[in-house]
Chains A and B, each alone.
Chain A
C-alpha cells in the first residue's frame, strides 16, 4: 500500500546520506543478552554497577529478582533475560551480576544483563525501524536497529518497556484491559495480586502482542471472550511449557478454532439453515447486502443462495469485497468439481464443461469488488451485512471505524452477521442471532 509513498520518500534520502554518520547525536550503552547486542539510550542510564544478594520480594512478577540498596536508595532489580524469556544462567549465590541502573522520569531501578559492553555514539538518522518478526523481543519494545563498526545493535525502548502507561493511554480507550501493564511495572515491587493471576495477565499481554505482530489479529471487545477462553485451553494444551507465541505457526495454532464454521468452503446444511432463520423480514422488493472480507467468495455464494430461498421474489444485490486481490480474483468465476452439488445448492447450480457453477441469476446478484474496507465505499444502505472474521484482523481503532460504518450503512430492521467467535456487544447493538450464528441488530 505504501509504494507510492516510498517512491516519493526515496529521493530526499539520497541527499541525507551524505552527512549521515559524521554527526553523533545519540549515545547508547550497549550490552549483551543471550549472545545478542542491545543498546539503551544513555540518557536513561544513571550508572553501571555490579551487585548481588538482592533481597527477595515475595509475590512479585517472575522477572523481578528483588530489591537492592543502592547507597541508601531502595531500587527494584529486574532480570531483563527472564522478562524477555531469554535463557539466563543462574549464577552461584553471592556472585555479582552486571547491572545497569536506569532512571526513567522519577523512577530508578536496576536491570540485570549478561555483559555490559561500552558506550557507542551514532547519528539518530541511522536508526532503522524494527522489523515485525525481529526475534526474541517483542517488536513493540524495540526502538530501532543500528549498525556501528559492523555490529548490529538492537535499541530497546526502555520507556515503553517500563513505563507503558504514559505512552499507551490513547490506545487504552478502546482496548479494554491490558493487564500486563500492572505486572510489568517494576515500580511496584511489592505487588499484592496472587502470583498466578499476575503471570496470566502478563502472558495474555504477550500473546496479544504476538498475535498482532505475527497475524494482525487485534484483541478487543469484539473477540475478548473467545480470546480468554482460548487462553485457558492453550494453557492446558501447552501443559507447563512456554505459553508464548514465537512464530507464525504457533500463532496459527492459537487462532485455530477462532474462524467461523465453513470458512473457505460452501456453508453446510445446518449452518446455512440457521443463517436463513435469522434473516430479517424485509419489506420492499430490493434486498441489499454488504459482505466485506468475503475472501475467496464461498461465503458470498452461500449467502446468495440462502437469500434466494428466503426471498424468492426479491431483487437481491450483494456487494462482496476483499482487499486480497488474489483471493477475490477467483471469486466471480467459481467452478466446483464435485459429481453432484450439495442438496441445498442443487437448484441454484448448473453443470458446464468444466464442472458445476452458479446459475446466471445468482451470478448477476453479486458484485465482487477489490476493495479495502478502510477506504470509502459506494455500498448503498443495506438490509444485511455479513462480515465474518474480518473485524478481528483490523487494528482496534479501525475496528471501531468500520463498526460505525456498519451502523451507518445498515437499515433500521437490518441484521449484521459477524464471525462465530466475534461479539458486537457495543453500544448501539443488540444480539439478534441464535446458537451458531453471531448476529446483531441496531438497538
Chain B
C-alpha cells in the first residue's frame, strides 16, 4: 500500500474515535497481513474506488461494538439491534470519509461505497490478492482493528 495513504487513515481513525468516544485512545503498532484473518464478531466494510481499488474493514468484538454504540448514543444498549448496527456503520463511514478527504487534499481521487455491516461468530475474511495494513486502536470500550487494503489500478 502506498505510503501516502497510511497516515490519513491512522490520523482520521484517531481523531474520530477521540471525538466520539471522548476517551483515551491508543494506537498499536501497524503491520501488514496478507492471509485470511478471523473477524472478531462485528465487521463494518467500506469500499473504495477511483484511482485505486480497495476496502477498509473495521473489526471489533460484539461487546466492544455494543459499548461503543452506547457511548455514541448516550444510552445503555444491550442487544445487537438496528440502532447499534447503524451506529457502527456510521462510525466506519466517518473515519473513512475523513481519511478520503485528507487524501483528496493531497491530490488522490477516491470514491466511497456505502458501508455494509457483518455480524456473526466464527467469520473469516480472505481476499487472496491483496495485502492489508492493520491499524490496531485501543479505546476504553475495547479494541478496534482497522484493516485497510488499497491497490493502484494497473
Q: For the complex, is A98 an interface residue (Cβ under 8 Å from B)? A: no
Residue on B with the closest CB to A329?
A: B3
Q: For the complex, is B81 an interface residue (Cβ under 8 Å from A)? A: no
Residues of A within 8 A of B86 (CB): none
Choose from B1, B129, B145 the contact partner of A369 (Cβ within 8 Å). Answer: B1
Residues of B within 8 A of A368 (CB): 2-4
Interface centre among A7, A368, A370 (most CB of B within 10 A): A370
Residues of B within 8 A of A3 (CB): 28-29, 31, 134, 136
Choose from B29, B128, B131, B143 the contact partner of A371 (Cβ within 8 Å). Answer: B131
Residues of A within 8 A of B7 (CB): 329
Residues 118-152 of chain B: 1 if any A CB is under 8 Å from the residue's CB, otherwise 0? 00000000001111011010000001010000011
Bound Cα distance A83, B45 (Å) = 57
Residues of A within 8 A of B143 (CB): 7
Bound Cα distance A367, B133 (Å) = 16
Residue on B with the closest CB to A379?
A: B154
Interface size of A by CB at 8 A reads: 22
Whether B32 and A323, one on each chain, are in contact in the complex, defined by CB atoms closer than 8 angstroms, is yes
Residues of B within 8 A of A4 (CB): 33, 37, 134, 145
Whether B31 and A1, one on each chain, are in contact in the complex, defined by CB atoms closer than 8 angstroms, is yes
Q: For the complex, is A8 an interface residue (Cβ under 8 Å from B)? A: yes
- Residues of B in contact with A, size category: 20 to 34
Interface centre among A4, A328, A331, A375 (most CB of B within 10 A): A4
Bound Cα distance A370, B129 (Å) = 16
Distance between A128 CB and nearest chain B CB, rounded to angstroms: 23
Residue on A with the closest CB to B30?
A: A325
Distance between A161 CB and nearest chain B CB, rounded to angstroms: 34
Residues of A within 8 A of B30 (CB): 325, 370
Choose from A1, A329, A378 the contact partner of B33 (Cβ within 8 Å). Answer: A1
Residue on B with the closest CB to A330?
A: B3
Residues of A within 8 A of B129 (CB): 376, 378
Q: For the complex, is B114 an interface residue (Cβ under 8 Å from A)? A: no
Whether B128 and A376, one on each chain, are in contact in the complex, defined by CB atoms closer than 8 angstroms, is yes
Interface centre among B6, B128, B131, B136 (most CB of A within 10 A): B131
Residues 16-46 of chain B: 1 if any A CB is under 8 Å from the residue's CB, otherwise 0? 0000000000001111111001100000000
Residue on B with the closest CB to A331?
A: B3
Bound Cα distance A8, B29 (Å) = 16
Residue on B with the closest CB to A332?
A: B3
Interface centre among A328, A369, A380 (most CB of B within 10 A): A369
Residues of B within 8 A of A377 (CB): 131
Whether B28 and A372, one on each chain, are in contact in the complex, defined by CB atoms closer than 8 angstroms, is no
Distance between A372 CB and nearest chain B CB, rounded to angstroms: 5
Distance between A289 CB and nearest chain B CB, rounded to angstroms: 14
Distance between A96 CB and nearest chain B CB, rounded to angstroms: 55
Interface centre among B3, B131, B136 (most CB of A within 10 A): B3
Whether B32 and A370, one on each chain, are in contact in the complex, defined by CB atoms closer than 8 angstroms, is yes
Choose from B1, B37, B130, B154 the contact partner of A370 (Cβ within 8 Å). Answer: B1
Distance between B25 CB and nearest chain A CB, rounded to angstroms: 17
Bound Cα distance A368, B4 (Å) = 8
Choose from B34, B38, B152, B154 the contact partner of A372 (Cβ within 8 Å). Answer: B34
Bound Cα distance A1, B133 (Å) = 11
Residue on A with the closest CB to B59?
A: A4
- For window 174-227 of A, CB contacts with B under 8 Å fall at none
9 pairs from A and B in contact (CB 8 Å cutoff): A4-B33, A4-B145, A369-B1, A370-B3, A371-B131, A372-B34, A378-B151, A378-B152, A378-B154
Interfacial residues, chain B to chain A (CB-CB below 8 A): 1-4, 6-7, 28-34, 37-38, 128-131, 133-134, 136, 143, 145, 151-152, 154
